[in-house]
Amino acid sequence: MKKEILYSLKGIYRENFEIEGYSFGGGEKSACIVGALRGNEIQQLYICSQLIKVLKELEAHGAISHNHEILVIPSANRFSMNVEKRFWPIDNLDINRMFPGDAAGDTTKQIAAAIFESCRGYSYGIQFASFYMPGDFIPHVRMMETGYQSASLANLFGLQYVVIRKPKPMDTATLNYNWQMNGTNAFSIYTNSTDMVDEKSARQAVSSVLRFLTRMGILKYNNHSGYIASVINEYDLSAVKTYDAGFYKRLKEPGDPVVHNEVIGQVIDPCEGFVKSEIISPTDGIVFFAHTAPMVMSNEVVYKIIRRMHE
Protein backbone atom coordinates (compact mmCIF):
# COMPACT_ATOMS: atom_id res chain seq x y z
CA MET A 1 0.00 0.00 0.00
CA LYS A 2 1.23 3.46 -0.90
CA LYS A 3 -0.21 6.53 0.79
CA GLU A 4 0.12 9.88 -0.96
CA ILE A 5 -1.22 13.41 -0.62
CA LEU A 6 -3.30 14.25 -3.69
CA TYR A 7 -4.12 17.84 -2.70
CA SER A 8 -3.03 20.18 0.07
CA LEU A 9 -4.41 23.56 1.13
CA LYS A 10 -2.49 25.65 3.66
CA GLY A 11 -4.45 26.30 6.84
CA ILE A 12 -4.17 29.62 8.66
CA TYR A 13 -5.70 28.81 12.05
CA ARG A 14 -5.74 25.01 11.81
CA GLU A 15 -3.65 22.23 10.29
CA ASN A 16 -3.39 22.00 6.52
CA PHE A 17 -6.33 20.55 4.62
CA GLU A 18 -5.15 17.42 2.80
CA ILE A 19 -6.75 14.81 0.57
CA GLU A 20 -5.04 11.44 0.81
CA GLY A 21 -5.07 8.56 -1.63
CA TYR A 22 -4.22 4.92 -0.93
CA SER A 23 -2.97 2.88 -3.88
CA PHE A 24 -2.65 -0.89 -4.10
CA GLY A 25 -0.88 -2.99 -6.70
CA GLY A 26 0.67 -1.30 -9.71
CA GLY A 27 0.56 -0.96 -13.46
CA GLU A 28 -2.64 -0.35 -15.40
CA LYS A 29 -5.14 2.05 -13.82
CA SER A 30 -7.90 -0.44 -13.10
CA ALA A 31 -10.23 0.87 -10.37
CA CYS A 32 -10.64 4.10 -8.43
CA ILE A 33 -12.88 4.18 -5.35
CA VAL A 34 -14.03 7.48 -3.83
CA GLY A 35 -15.68 7.87 -0.43
CA ALA A 36 -16.94 10.96 1.39
CA LEU A 37 -17.24 14.09 -0.75
CA ARG A 38 -19.58 15.70 1.79
CA GLY A 39 -19.09 16.42 5.46
CA ASN A 40 -21.96 14.26 6.71
CA GLU A 41 -20.99 11.12 4.77
CA ILE A 42 -19.82 9.19 7.83
CA GLN A 43 -21.00 5.83 6.49
CA GLN A 44 -19.16 6.36 3.20
CA LEU A 45 -15.90 7.14 5.00
CA TYR A 46 -16.35 4.09 7.23
CA ILE A 47 -16.91 1.81 4.23
CA CYS A 48 -13.69 3.08 2.64
CA SER A 49 -11.75 2.50 5.86
CA GLN A 50 -12.93 -1.11 5.94
CA LEU A 51 -12.16 -1.55 2.25
CA ILE A 52 -8.63 -0.17 2.70
CA LYS A 53 -8.12 -2.58 5.61
CA VAL A 54 -9.13 -5.58 3.47
CA LEU A 55 -7.16 -4.47 0.39
CA LYS A 56 -4.04 -4.02 2.52
CA GLU A 57 -4.35 -7.61 3.74
CA LEU A 58 -5.05 -8.92 0.22
CA GLU A 59 -2.02 -7.10 -1.18
CA ALA A 60 0.18 -8.57 1.55
CA HIS A 61 -0.97 -12.05 0.45
CA GLY A 62 -0.41 -11.37 -3.27
CA ALA A 63 -4.13 -11.34 -4.08
CA ILE A 64 -4.03 -8.28 -6.34
CA SER A 65 -3.60 -9.41 -9.93
CA HIS A 66 -0.47 -8.46 -11.85
CA ASN A 67 -0.50 -5.09 -13.65
CA HIS A 68 -3.58 -3.77 -11.85
CA GLU A 69 -3.69 -0.65 -9.71
CA ILE A 70 -6.49 0.27 -7.27
CA LEU A 71 -6.75 3.79 -5.84
CA VAL A 72 -8.96 4.57 -2.82
CA ILE A 73 -9.73 8.16 -1.78
CA PRO A 74 -11.61 7.76 1.53
CA SER A 75 -12.43 11.43 2.16
CA ALA A 76 -12.24 14.65 0.17
CA ASN A 77 -13.91 16.91 2.71
CA ARG A 78 -12.49 16.44 6.21
CA PHE A 79 -12.83 20.16 6.88
CA SER A 80 -16.63 19.97 6.61
CA MET A 81 -16.68 16.72 8.58
CA ASN A 82 -14.70 18.31 11.43
CA VAL A 83 -17.17 21.20 11.79
CA GLU A 84 -20.23 19.01 11.09
CA LYS A 85 -21.31 20.71 7.87
CA ARG A 86 -22.60 18.84 4.81
CA PHE A 87 -21.05 21.20 2.25
CA TRP A 88 -17.80 23.18 2.15
CA PRO A 89 -18.27 25.42 5.21
CA ILE A 90 -16.70 28.64 3.91
CA ASP A 91 -19.21 29.21 1.09
CA ASN A 92 -21.63 26.26 1.53
CA LEU A 93 -20.83 24.77 -1.89
CA ASP A 94 -21.12 21.08 -2.79
CA ILE A 95 -17.84 19.61 -4.07
CA ASN A 96 -19.84 16.96 -5.95
CA ARG A 97 -21.37 19.73 -8.07
CA MET A 98 -17.98 21.14 -9.12
CA PHE A 99 -16.54 18.49 -11.45
CA PRO A 100 -14.43 18.35 -13.54
CA GLY A 101 -13.16 21.31 -11.51
CA ASP A 102 -10.79 24.16 -12.26
CA ALA A 103 -7.24 24.27 -10.90
CA ALA A 104 -7.33 28.08 -11.13
CA GLY A 105 -10.87 28.45 -9.72
CA ASP A 106 -12.21 28.87 -6.21
CA THR A 107 -11.41 26.36 -3.46
CA THR A 108 -14.14 23.80 -4.15
CA LYS A 109 -13.32 23.79 -7.87
CA GLN A 110 -9.63 23.33 -7.06
CA ILE A 111 -10.47 20.37 -4.83
CA ALA A 112 -12.69 18.84 -7.53
CA ALA A 113 -9.96 19.36 -10.14
CA ALA A 114 -7.35 17.67 -7.94
CA ILE A 115 -9.62 14.69 -7.27
CA PHE A 116 -10.59 14.33 -10.92
CA GLU A 117 -6.98 14.58 -12.10
CA SER A 118 -6.06 11.78 -9.69
CA CYS A 119 -8.96 9.46 -10.56
CA ARG A 120 -9.36 9.98 -14.31
CA GLY A 121 -8.09 7.35 -16.72
CA TYR A 122 -9.19 4.38 -14.58
CA SER A 123 -11.21 1.62 -16.21
CA TYR A 124 -13.76 1.56 -13.37
CA GLY A 125 -14.85 4.29 -11.00
CA ILE A 126 -16.84 3.51 -7.84
CA GLN A 127 -18.26 6.21 -5.59
CA PHE A 128 -19.93 5.67 -2.23
CA ALA A 129 -22.59 8.34 -2.53
CA SER A 130 -25.40 9.87 -0.47
CA PHE A 131 -28.86 11.10 -1.42
CA TYR A 132 -29.96 14.73 -1.26
CA MET A 133 -32.90 13.81 1.00
CA PRO A 134 -32.44 12.35 4.52
CA GLY A 135 -33.41 8.71 4.42
CA ASP A 136 -32.53 5.03 4.16
CA PHE A 137 -32.24 2.94 0.99
CA ILE A 138 -32.13 -0.68 0.06
CA PRO A 139 -28.40 -1.00 -0.83
CA HIS A 140 -28.10 -0.62 -4.59
CA VAL A 141 -25.97 0.51 -7.52
CA ARG A 142 -27.00 3.71 -9.27
CA MET A 143 -25.98 4.84 -12.76
CA MET A 144 -26.71 7.82 -14.96
CA GLU A 145 -28.15 7.23 -18.42
CA THR A 146 -25.45 8.95 -20.46
CA GLY A 147 -25.21 6.48 -23.33
CA TYR A 148 -22.02 5.08 -21.81
CA GLN A 149 -23.60 3.25 -18.87
CA SER A 150 -23.51 -0.54 -18.61
CA ALA A 151 -26.20 -2.23 -16.52
CA SER A 152 -24.58 -5.61 -17.16
CA LEU A 153 -21.39 -4.44 -15.43
CA ALA A 154 -23.42 -2.99 -12.55
CA ASN A 155 -24.98 -6.46 -12.07
CA LEU A 156 -21.54 -7.79 -11.16
CA PHE A 157 -21.62 -6.03 -7.78
CA GLY A 158 -24.22 -8.59 -6.71
CA LEU A 159 -26.53 -6.09 -4.99
CA GLN A 160 -30.30 -6.48 -5.21
CA TYR A 161 -31.02 -3.52 -7.47
CA VAL A 162 -29.45 -1.43 -10.20
CA VAL A 163 -31.14 1.96 -10.68
CA ILE A 164 -30.71 3.92 -13.89
CA ARG A 165 -31.70 7.57 -13.97
CA LYS A 166 -31.64 10.28 -16.62
CA PRO A 167 -29.24 13.07 -15.63
CA LYS A 168 -30.58 16.53 -14.91
CA PRO A 169 -28.55 19.64 -15.85
CA MET A 170 -27.10 19.89 -12.33
CA ASP A 171 -25.90 16.26 -12.58
CA THR A 172 -23.44 17.16 -15.34
CA ALA A 173 -21.13 18.58 -12.66
CA THR A 174 -20.99 15.36 -10.59
CA LEU A 175 -18.08 12.94 -10.36
CA ASN A 176 -20.13 10.03 -11.74
CA TYR A 177 -21.20 11.94 -14.86
CA ASN A 178 -17.72 13.29 -15.62
CA TRP A 179 -16.17 9.89 -15.10
CA GLN A 180 -18.50 8.48 -17.76
CA MET A 181 -17.83 11.38 -20.13
CA ASN A 182 -14.09 10.66 -19.87
CA GLY A 183 -14.28 6.94 -20.63
CA THR A 184 -14.53 5.44 -17.13
CA ASN A 185 -17.27 2.95 -16.29
CA ALA A 186 -18.78 4.75 -13.29
CA PHE A 187 -20.99 3.39 -10.53
CA SER A 188 -22.47 4.98 -7.41
CA ILE A 189 -23.20 2.68 -4.47
CA TYR A 190 -25.86 3.66 -1.94
CA THR A 191 -26.25 1.96 1.43
CA ASN A 192 -28.76 2.18 4.29
CA SER A 193 -27.18 5.15 6.02
CA THR A 194 -25.27 8.42 5.57
CA ASP A 195 -24.55 10.29 8.82
CA MET A 196 -24.54 7.18 11.03
CA VAL A 197 -22.52 3.97 10.68
CA ASP A 198 -24.65 0.98 9.67
CA GLU A 199 -22.42 -2.07 10.07
CA LYS A 200 -24.60 -4.49 8.13
CA SER A 201 -24.94 -2.41 4.95
CA ALA A 202 -21.28 -1.29 5.25
CA ARG A 203 -20.17 -4.93 5.13
CA GLN A 204 -22.50 -5.49 2.20
CA ALA A 205 -20.95 -2.53 0.34
CA VAL A 206 -17.39 -3.73 0.97
CA SER A 207 -18.31 -7.26 -0.19
CA SER A 208 -19.98 -5.90 -3.33
CA VAL A 209 -16.85 -3.97 -4.34
CA LEU A 210 -14.57 -6.95 -3.67
CA ARG A 211 -16.97 -9.12 -5.67
CA PHE A 212 -16.89 -6.70 -8.60
CA LEU A 213 -13.09 -6.37 -8.57
CA THR A 214 -12.76 -10.16 -8.47
CA ARG A 215 -15.14 -10.65 -11.40
CA MET A 216 -13.21 -8.06 -13.42
CA GLY A 217 -9.96 -9.97 -12.80
CA ILE A 218 -8.41 -7.27 -10.61
CA LEU A 219 -8.45 -9.32 -7.39
CA LYS A 220 -7.98 -12.99 -6.59
CA TYR A 221 -10.61 -13.36 -3.92
CA ASN A 222 -13.32 -15.85 -3.02
CA ASN A 223 -16.72 -14.63 -1.85
CA HIS A 224 -20.36 -15.59 -2.35
CA SER A 225 -22.06 -14.67 -5.60
CA GLY A 226 -24.55 -12.14 -4.19
CA TYR A 227 -27.86 -11.31 -5.84
CA ILE A 228 -28.95 -11.36 -9.46
CA ALA A 229 -29.86 -7.69 -9.65
CA SER A 230 -33.18 -6.28 -10.82
CA VAL A 231 -32.57 -3.32 -13.15
CA ILE A 232 -35.09 -0.52 -12.67
CA ASN A 233 -35.45 3.02 -13.97
CA GLU A 234 -35.87 5.80 -11.43
CA TYR A 235 -39.08 6.97 -13.07
CA ASP A 236 -40.58 3.54 -12.26
CA LEU A 237 -40.32 4.35 -8.54
CA SER A 238 -43.55 5.63 -7.03
CA ALA A 239 -42.94 8.72 -4.84
CA VAL A 240 -45.16 9.00 -1.76
CA LYS A 241 -45.60 12.52 -0.35
CA THR A 242 -47.00 14.04 2.84
CA TYR A 243 -50.12 16.20 2.99
CA ASP A 244 -49.23 18.03 6.21
CA ALA A 245 -46.19 19.26 8.12
CA GLY A 246 -45.30 17.98 11.58
CA PHE A 247 -43.58 15.11 13.38
CA TYR A 248 -43.07 12.12 11.12
CA LYS A 249 -43.72 8.55 12.27
CA ARG A 250 -42.34 5.94 9.89
CA LEU A 251 -44.14 2.60 9.85
CA LYS A 252 -42.18 0.79 7.11
CA GLU A 253 -38.49 0.07 6.53
CA PRO A 254 -36.58 -0.26 3.24
CA GLY A 255 -37.21 -3.73 1.84
CA ASP A 256 -40.63 -4.10 3.47
CA PRO A 257 -43.49 -5.18 1.17
CA VAL A 258 -46.53 -2.87 1.04
CA VAL A 259 -49.99 -3.19 -0.47
CA HIS A 260 -52.28 -0.65 -2.08
CA ASN A 261 -54.03 1.65 0.45
CA GLU A 262 -51.93 0.39 3.38
CA VAL A 263 -51.03 2.96 6.07
CA ILE A 264 -47.24 3.31 5.94
CA GLY A 265 -46.68 6.48 7.97
CA GLN A 266 -48.24 9.21 10.09
CA VAL A 267 -47.78 12.96 10.49
CA ILE A 268 -48.33 14.12 14.08
CA ASP A 269 -49.21 17.66 15.12
CA PRO A 270 -46.06 19.16 16.72
CA CYS A 271 -47.97 21.05 19.43
CA GLU A 272 -51.04 18.98 20.30
CA GLY A 273 -49.80 15.47 19.48
CA PHE A 274 -52.76 14.19 17.47
CA VAL A 275 -52.42 12.41 14.11
CA LYS A 276 -52.91 15.10 11.46
CA SER A 277 -52.81 12.73 8.50
CA GLU A 278 -51.90 9.21 7.46
CA ILE A 279 -49.55 8.34 4.63
CA ILE A 280 -51.09 5.74 2.32
CA SER A 281 -49.29 3.46 -0.12
CA PRO A 282 -50.50 4.22 -3.67
CA THR A 283 -49.46 0.81 -5.02
CA ASP A 284 -48.39 -2.75 -4.28
CA GLY A 285 -44.63 -3.08 -4.11
CA ILE A 286 -41.49 -2.90 -1.98
CA VAL A 287 -40.21 0.10 -0.04
CA PHE A 288 -37.02 1.29 -1.74
CA PHE A 289 -36.42 4.57 0.10
CA ALA A 290 -37.75 5.73 3.47
CA HIS A 291 -37.41 9.21 4.98
CA THR A 292 -35.62 9.42 8.37
CA ALA A 293 -35.78 13.02 9.62
CA PRO A 294 -38.02 13.50 12.69
CA MET A 295 -40.06 16.27 11.07
CA VAL A 296 -41.48 16.77 7.58
CA MET A 297 -42.89 19.60 5.51
CA SER A 298 -46.10 19.29 3.53
CA ASN A 299 -45.73 17.78 0.05
CA GLU A 300 -42.39 16.19 0.98
CA VAL A 301 -41.32 12.80 -0.42
CA VAL A 302 -41.13 10.30 2.45
CA TYR A 303 -41.15 6.99 0.56
CA LYS A 304 -40.17 5.66 -2.84
CA ILE A 305 -41.77 2.35 -3.72
CA ILE A 306 -40.83 -0.18 -6.39
CA ARG A 307 -44.13 -1.04 -8.04
CA ARG A 308 -45.38 -4.62 -8.37
CA MET A 309 -42.24 -6.34 -7.08
CA HIS A 310 -42.37 -8.73 -4.14
CA GLU A 311 -39.90 -10.69 -2.10
Are both 292 and 218 inside the same structural domain? no
Are both 258 and 112 inside the same structural domain? no
The pLDDT of residue 221 is: 87
Q: Is 268 exposed, middle or buried (0-12, 13-18, 19+ CB in 10 A)?
A: middle
pLDDT in tens, 245-267: 999 999 999 999 999 999 999 99
Q: Which domain holds residue 249?
A: 236-307
3-state helix, strand, coil in the chain (%, to 5): 25, 35, 40
Q: In degrees rounded to 5, what are phi and psi of residue 233?
A: -95, 145
**Mean pLDDT computed over 46-54:** 97
Structure letter (DSSP) for residue 167: P
Looking at per-residue confidence, does 236 or 123 come out higher? 123
Is pLDDT above 60 for 66? Answer: yes
Are both 216 and 252 inside the same structural domain? no
| Structural domain ending residue among the three candidates 204, 228, 252 | 228
| Structural domain ending residue among the three candidates 182, 203, 228 | 228
Is pLDDT above 70 for 204? Answer: yes
Are both 216 and 240 inside the same structural domain? no
pLDDT in tens, 1-35: 999 999 998 877 778 889 999 999 999 999 999 99
The pLDDT of residue 54 is: 96
Q: Predicted confidence band at 222 (pLDDT cuts at 50, 70, 90)?
A: confident
DSSP 184-238: -EEEEEE-S-SSS--HHHHHHHHHHHHHHHHHTTSB---------PEEEEGGGEE
**Mean pLDDT computed over 141-156:** 91
Are both 245 and 126 inside the same structural domain? no
Is pLDDT above 90 for 225? Answer: no
Lowest mean pLDDT among 3-17, 60-74, 177-191: 3-17
Are both 86 and 130 inside the same structural domain? yes
Are both 168 and 109 inside the same structural domain? yes
Q: Which helix (H) or strand (E) holds 151?
A: helix 151-154
The CATH number of whichever domain residue 177 belongs to comes to 3.40.630.10
Tell me the torsion sign for CA atoms 281, 282, 287, 293.
negative
d(CA 36, CA 194): 10
- Backbone dihedral region for residue 158 (phi beyond 0: left; psi -120 to 50: alpha; all else: beta): left
The pLDDT of residue 237 is: 93
| Structural domain ending residue among the three candidates 228, 261, 296 | 228
Asked whether the beta carbons of 187 and 143 are under 8 A apart, the reply is: yes
Are both 259 and 205 inside the same structural domain? no
Are both 7 and 114 inside the same structural domain? yes
**Mean pLDDT computed over 45-51:** 97
Are both 135 and 192 inside the same structural domain? yes
Are both 52 and 127 inside the same structural domain? yes
The pLDDT of residue 310 is: 45
d(CA 196, CA 179): 28
Nearest to 87 by CA among 41, 142, 133: 41
Give me the number of domains the chain comprises: 2
Are both 210 and 257 inside the same structural domain? no
The CATH number of whichever domain residue 296 belongs to comes to 2.40.50.100
The pLDDT of residue 304 is: 95
